[in-house]
Structure 1
Amino acid sequence: MVRRAGLGLLWLGFVVYAFGFAPPNQPDTFDLIMRLSSGQWEGINPAVVALFNLMGIWPLVYAAMVLIDGQQQSFPAWPFVVGSFGVGAFLLLPYLILRTPSAQFDGPKGGLISLLDSRWLGWGLTAIATLLIGYGLIAGDWSDFAQQWQTSRFIHVMSLDFCLLCGLVPALLGDDMARRGLKRPAIFWTVTLLPLIGPSLYLALRPPLPADQPVEAAAR
C-alpha cells in the first residue's frame, strides 16, 4: 500500500508539473518532433538528437522486464509498454502502481518472451545507448541545451522523463533478479546507479529464465 501510494503521488506530481508548471510549448515543437522522428537532424543540437533517440531505447529496456513481469499480473502489461514508446513514464508509472510484486516466473516462454530474454537484445541496446550517449556528450551544445531546457516544454519534460525512467528501474529490477536466482546487492546497485547503460548491460548479462517449468526464486 505504501509503495503504491508513493508511486501514485510521484505520477500525479509528474503530470501536474509537466502540464501546469513546465515551460510553455514553443511554436516549432511539432516541426522539431517530426524532424527528429524522420531523421532530418540537420541544424538540431546533437544533445537533443541523442536524448530523443535514447527515449526510444528506454521502452525496450523496460519491455524486457515488464512483459516478463506481466505474466504474473492479473491485467495485461502490453498496453503500458506500447504506450511508453510515446509517453514514457507517464504510462509506465501506472503499471508499477497496479502491479503486484512477484519473484516467480510461470512459463512457458513464448517467442516474444524468448526474444526479450535474449542476451543479444541486451547487447544491442547497450551498444546503441553507448553510441548515442557518446555522440550527445561529445557533439552536443550544452549551453544551447540548457537554454532550451528552460524555455521548451518538450525538451524540459523529455529530460525529466529520462531521469524518472532512470529512477524507476529498482521497482522492477529486484523481482527480475529474484526470478533468476541473483541475490548479490552489488549487482542491484550497479545496475541502478548507471543510467541506462546499467539496465541495458543487465539485460545482456542476466541468466535466462527457465524454459519449461515455473521457478520460485529466492528474494533479493
Structure 2
Amino acid sequence: MSRKIAFWLLWIGLASYAFLLAPPTQPDTWTLIKNLSLGKLEGINPIIVSLFYIMGVWPIIYSCLLFIDGKEQKIPAWPFAAGSFGIGAFALLPYLALREPNQEFTGQKNIFLKVLDSRFTGLLIGLATVGLVAYGVLAGDWGDFIQQWQTSNFIHVMSLDFCTLCLLFPVLLGDDMARRGVKNRQFFWVVSLIPLFGPVLYLCLRPQLPESSARLA
C-alpha cells in the first residue's frame, strides 16, 4: 500500500510542479510543438529536437514491458501506454500505482506481443536512440538549451519528464526479468543506473519470454 501511495504522491507532486512552479508557457510553444511534430526543424536547437523525439522513443521502450505486464493485471495497459506518447510519465504513474507486482506470464503471445518481445525491435530502438542522442550532443547549442530550460515551461517539463522516465523503469524491470528467468542482480543495476541506454541495452539482450510458462486450464 505504501508503494501505491508513493506513486500517487509523485504523480500529484509532478503535476503540481509542472502547473504551479515550472517556468511559464512561452507564446511560441504551440508553434514549436507543431513544427517538431511535422518535422519542420529549421532554426530549432538540435538538443530540443533530440529530446522531443526521444520522448517518443521512451513510450515504445516502456511498451515493450508494459503490455506484457498488463496481460496479468486487472487493469488494461494500453490506455496508459497510449497516453504516455503525449504526456510521458504523467500517464504511466497511475498505471504503476494501480498495478500489482507480478512475475508470471500466462497464455500465448499474440503477434503484437511477439513484436514487442523481439530483440530486433530492441535493436531498432537502440539505433534510433543512439542517432538521436548523437545528433543532439554533437550539433546542439547547450547554452541556448539551458536558457530555454530556465524560461520555457515546455522544455523544462519535458526535461523533468525524461528524468522521471529514467527513474521509473526499474519498477517494471524486476518483474520482467523474473518472467524470463533472469536472476542477475548486477545486470538489473546496470540497466537501472544507466539513463536511457540501460533500458535500451536490456531490450537488446533480454531472452525471449517463454510461452511454456502458461498455466494449463
Query: Could you give the per-residue CA deviations for residues 8-38 of structure 1, whole angstroms, max 9, x where no partner exists?
Result: 1111100000011110100000000000011
Aligned pairs for 1:80-91 within 5 A = 80-91=80-91
Identity over the aligned pairs, expressed in percent? 57
Query: Could you give the per-residue CA deviations for residues 27-52 of structure 1, whole angstroms, max 9, x where no partner exists?
Result: 00000000001111010000000000
The yes-or-no answer on 1:133 pairing with 2:133 is yes
Q: Which amino acid aligns with 2:14?
A: F
**Cα drift, residue 6 of structure 1:** 1.1
Gaps of 5+ in 2: none
Q: Which amino acid aligns with 1:86?
A: G
Contact 2:106 2:211 in 1 (8 A): no
1:76 alignment counterpart:
76
Contact 2:103 2:175 in 1 (8 A): yes
2:176 alignment counterpart:
176
**Cα drift, residue 75 of structure 1:** 1.2
Q: Which amino acid aligns with 1:61?
A: I
Contact 1:108 1:213 in 2 (8 A): no
2:21 alignment counterpart:
21
What is the CA–CA distance in structure 1 between the aligned matches of 2:110 and 2:97, rounded to whole Å? 26
Query: Could you give the per-residue CA deviations for residues 73-118 of structure 1, whole angstroms, max 9, x where no partner exists?
Result: 0011100000100000001000000000000001211111111000
**Cα drift, residue 179 of structure 1:** 0.3
Q: Secondary structure at the match of 1:116?
A: helix
What is the CA–CA distance in structure 1 between the aligned matches of 2:98 and 2:56, rounded to whole Å? 24
**Structure 2 length normalisation: TM-score?**
0.97
**Cα drift, residue 192 of structure 1:** 0.8
What is the CA–CA distance in structure 1 between the aligned matches of 2:116 and 2:31, rounded to whole Å? 33
What is the CA–CA distance in structure 2 between the aligned matches of 1:97 and 1:27, rounded to whole Å? 35
**Cα drift, residue 186 of structure 1:** 0.9
Query: Could you give the per-residue CA deviations for residues 131-181 of structure 1, whole angstroms, max 9, x where no partner exists?
Result: 111111111101100000010000000000000000001100000000001
2:7 alignment counterpart:
7
**Cα drift, residue 212 of structure 1:** 4.4
2:186 alignment counterpart:
186
Q: Secondary structure at the match of 1:27?
A: coil
Contact 1:107 1:210 in 2 (8 A): no
**Cα drift, residue 213 of structure 1:** 3.9
What is the CA–CA distance in structure 2 between the aligned matches of 1:55 and 1:38, rounded to whole Å? 15
Contact 2:70 2:76 in 1 (8 A): yes
1:211 alignment counterpart:
211
2:124 alignment counterpart:
124
What is the CA–CA distance in structure 1 between the aligned matches of 2:163 and 2:60, rounded to whole Å? 16
1:218 alignment counterpart:
none
**Cα drift, residue 211 of structure 1:** 2.6
Contact 1:7 1:93 in 2 (8 A): yes
Q: Secondary structure at the match of 1:85?
A: helix
Gaps of 5+ in 1: 216-220
1:55 alignment counterpart:
55
The yes-or-no answer on 1:158 pairing with 2:158 is yes
The yes-or-no answer on 1:64 pairing with 2:50 is no
What is the CA–CA distance in structure 2 between the aligned matches of 1:213 and 1:153, rounded to whole Å? 46
